[in-house]
Chain A
C-alpha cells in the first residue's frame, strides 16, 4: 500500500481522490478501531462508531488546519463520535443496582497472569457498565480532566469522579480475584 504524508492525504481527500481516501482509511482504521473497542460494548457497536467517525473525518476534512498530527485530529473525532453514540443509550451514566450480579460475571479461574494483554483488558472494559467504562476511558486512558468529562457527557464533576471511583473498584476486584493472587504487582 502506498504511504502518504498527512499533508498529501489531506489534500488528496479534499480533491476527492479515492486513492487518498482509501489510503487514509487503511492507515488509521486499525488504531481507531482499537480506541472505539474500549468505548463500545462489543465489536459490532465499535464498527458502527468507526463508520460514522470516518464519514465525519472525510466530511470535515476541510476543517483540519494542520496544526497537529492528522492522527490526533482523527482520534478526537472518533472519541466524540463514540460519546455521541453512547449518549443515545438509555442507561448512560447509571449506577449498577446489583453489584453481586456484576461481580459474579468475572469470577473465573483463568490464568490471567499469562494472558493479560490488550485484548484481555479490553474484555474487562467492555463488561463494565456503560457509565463506568466511559469515564474510565476518558480519564484513565485518554487523559481528560473531570471538568472536560463533565462537559463532554453533560454530567456534574462529582458524578464523573464517583463513576471513575466505582470503575476502578470493579476493575480491581476483577484483577485481584483473577490476576493478582500472587501479589506480583501492586495496584493503587
Chain B
C-alpha cells in the first residue's frame, strides 16, 4: 500500500509512483490514448502525393497533341505555299515564250466579226438590261419587230460622237453587234490580254536570251502562323 511507503520527499513520492508503473496499460484504460490519436498521426505522416494527378496528366497530353497538330498543319500550309510560289513566278516571267503555240492560234484568227470584239468595250450593265429586254421581246414576235424598228430609227437620228466607244447590242445568241454607222476598232486593241496575245504571237519567233543565274531559295520556308507570332 502507498500508505506504508517510505518516501523522503514529495518529489520522490511522485517520481517513484510514476516510474514504477508497469509497461502494460492499466486495466481501467486511463493511460491508453484513444484510437483517433493514431488515426490523426497516420494522416499527418502520410507521404505527400508527389506524382501528378490524372487530371494534370490528361491536360498535358491534350496540350501536347494540340501543339503537334498545330505545328503539323502550319508546316503543311507553309509547304503548299512554297510549292505554289515558284509556279506563279514562272508564269509571270516568261509566259509567252514558254507556250508559243497558243498565241499563234489566236493571231491566226484575227477578229473580223463584231462578236469577236474584246469584252472590255462592252458595258456590262447595259448588256444585261438589253439582254433581258431582248429575251422578253423574242417571246413576242410583234414586239420584237417594233423594237427593232424603233432601234433603227433611233440609230439614224443619232449621230456618232467621236471618241466614244460604240455601244454593243447583244442578241439572244450571245453575239454583240455594233450600232449602224459605228466602226469597230480592231487594229489597235486596248485590251491588255489582246495586246499580250499579239505580242506573244511574235515573241516566240525571236531568239531567246539566256537565263541569268538566280540563287535558289529554299522551298520549305517556315512561316509561323499568326497566333504564334504574337
Interface residues of A (CB under 8 A from B): 16, 18, 21-22, 25, 29-31, 33-34, 37-38, 46-47, 50-51, 54-55, 58-59, 113-114, 116-119, 121, 125, 136, 139-141, 168, 171-172, 175, 179, 182, 184-188
**Given A51-B40, A114-B1; A139-B45 close (CB under 8 Å):** no
7 new A-B contacts at CB < 8 Å, known A118-B21, A187-B10: A30-B24, A30-B33, A54-B41, A55-B44, A119-B30, A141-B11, A168-B10
- CB of A21 within 8 A of CB of B18, answer no
**In the bound complex, what is the Cα–Cα distance between A140 and B24 (angstroms)?**
24
Residues of A within 8 A of B193 (CB): none
Instruction: Supply 17 A–B pairs (Cβ within 8 Å), ascending by A.
Output: A29-B32, A30-B25, A33-B32, A33-B33, A34-B31, A47-B33, A47-B34, A47-B37, A50-B33, A51-B40, A51-B44, A58-B41, A136-B14, A140-B10, A185-B5, A186-B8, A187-B9
Task: Determine the interface band of chain B, counting residues with CB < 8 A from chain A.
Answer: 35 or more
Q: Tell which of B13, B17, B24, B45 has the most Cβ of chain A within 10 Å.
A: B45
**In the bound complex, what is the Cα–Cα distance between A186 and B10 (angstroms)?**
9
- CB of A114 within 8 A of CB of B3, answer yes
**In the bound complex, what is the Cα–Cα distance between A47 and B1 (angstroms)?**
30
Residues of A within 8 A of B18 (CB): 34, 38, 118, 121, 141
Residues of B within 8 A of A58 (CB): 41, 45
**In the bound complex, what is the Cα–Cα distance between A51 and B35 (angstroms)?**
11
Residues of A within 8 A of B49 (CB): none
Residues of A within 8 A of B21 (CB): 34, 118
- CB of A113 within 8 A of CB of B28, answer no
Main secondary structure of the interface of A (DSSP, over half): helix
Binary per-residue interface labels of chain B (129-153) against chain A in the complex, 1 for a CB within 8 Å, 0 otherwise: 0000000000000000000000000
- CB of A188 within 8 A of CB of B8, answer yes
**Given A139-B11, A185-B7; A118-B17 close (CB under 8 Å):** yes
- How near does chain A come to B157, taking the closest CB pair, in angstroms? 112
Residues of B within 8 A of A187 (CB): 7, 9-10, 13
Residues of A within 8 A of B34 (CB): 47
**Given A58-B41, A59-B45, A140-B15; A113-B9 close (CB under 8 Å):** no
Residues of B within 8 A of A59 (CB): 45
- How near does chain A come to B12, taking the closest CB pair, in angstroms? 8
**In the bound complex, what is the Cα–Cα distance between A185 and B5 (angstroms)?**
7
Contact of B10 among A25, A29, A116, A171 (CB under 8 A): A171
- CB of B3 within 8 A of CB of A33, answer no
Residues of A within 8 A of B6 (CB): 185
